[in-house]
Amino acid sequence: MTAVTAGASARRSTATDLLADDAAAPDVEPTNSVARDAAGAPTRAAEPPSARVVPLPSRPPVPAAVLPAPVTAPPVTAPPVTAPDAAASTSAVVPNTTERLPAEPAAEVPADRAPEAAGPQAADAADASGPGRRVRRRERRGPDLREQRRLRTREAIVDAAAELFAARGFDHVSVLEIAQRAGVVEKTVFNHFPVKEGLVFEADPPMRAALLDAVRRRPAGESAAAAAGSFVVAAVSQLGSPAAAEGVAEMARIIRASRTLQAREREILGALTDTLAEQIALETRASAGELEPWLAANAVLGLYSALLDLARDRVLAGASGPELVTELRTRGRRGLALLQFGLAGYAKRP
């Protein structure tokens, strides 16, 4: 509104000046006489026709006493430069001057709409998680539609691969066939699983984080080997339950029928062994070249590998249920006791 007001004031001042100029102009009496020379003949003026005075019969002469006084614009002087104060900010602005109009007060924006009013970048910054900030909207809403589609596509690929591997074996199924069964292109399969073995074994198995967590959270006085061994026995013994037996049998058949998968499984067990050994060495501050952390880690993962093979054998033989769970737990605890108390008394020659 400030710009409109200033402009309107300027237009009004211009109109007033024009009216004043028109009113201040002297009136010329209308005349119909023509100049004649000495002989009485009319003479032609040399001035152009536009210089003649045109009679205005509809505009009678106005007495001089009635004419308004000429209106002149006040001289424009630059205002003194002074520091702005509270009174100056609220003073009126004289039209047709160089004074700056006071800034209009910004419209009040509700607190919850402030980030949107400031712009998309400010809204994103306000939603960014961090100290003193709210959780992002996407995190509050859960996974978005794109993430849900990605998870559904990944699940479809895994299901298609499991069906084909169970029917024909891992080594006799191509990635292209898996993609066609899942209804996607081959590139999509590789986007989710860079290597074919990833359809059977996860790149970072959940057991890795769980094993390290069991070691880190063990109570005072318990050894790292005991904590890791107890976790292994508890986890593998549950493979004999009816809920897990069917999946264990299917995976056992697929892995044992493929040398590629068997080699990949050994690599995963080796990586788990190295991770556990590094954790033990970190806690014991073992120097380079000490064998104790690696011997303890290899013993625990050896127990895991032996107990896993036993579970697969028993499930493939048709065993499952509480009896198999109890058998796996008993054998596992016996092996763990051997690790805890050492091998000094084992396999002594009589």
pLDDT of 100 reads 54
C-alpha distances (whole Å) from 221 to each of 210, 226, 227 are 20, 10, 11
Decide: helix, strand or coil at residue 246.
helix
Q: Evaluate whether residue 260 is within a structural domain.
A: yes
Q: Which residues contact 154 (CB under 8 A, 6 or more apart)?
A: 192
Q: Evaluate whether residue 129 is within a structural domain.
A: no
Instruction: State the Cα–Cα distance between residues 249 and 199, nearest whole angstrom.
Output: 17
**Do 187 and 280 fall within a single domain?**
no
Strands, DSSP E only, in 55-171? none
**Do 178 and 275 fall within a single domain?**
no
pLDDT of 30 reads 41
What is the mean pLDDT of each successive set of 10 residues along the chain, which is 350 residues long? Answer: 40 37 42 47 48 47 48 52 46 50 53 50 46 49 81 94 94 95 95 93 85 93 92 94 92 95 94 94 89 93 96 94 95 92 70
Query: Range of 164's domain?
Result: 146-199
pLDDT of 67 reads 47
Decide: helix, strand or coil at residue 36.
strand
- Write the CATH number for 269: 1.10.357
Q: Evaluate whether residue 138 is within a structural domain.
A: no
Would you list the DSSP string of 37-83?
-TTS-B---SS-GGGSPPP-TTS----TTTSPPPP-PPPP-PPP---
**Do 317 and 262 fall within a single domain?**
yes
pLDDT of 169 reads 94
Domains identified in the chain, total number: 2
pLDDT of 287 reads 87
pLDDT of 202 reads 83
**Do 249 and 182 fall within a single domain?**
no
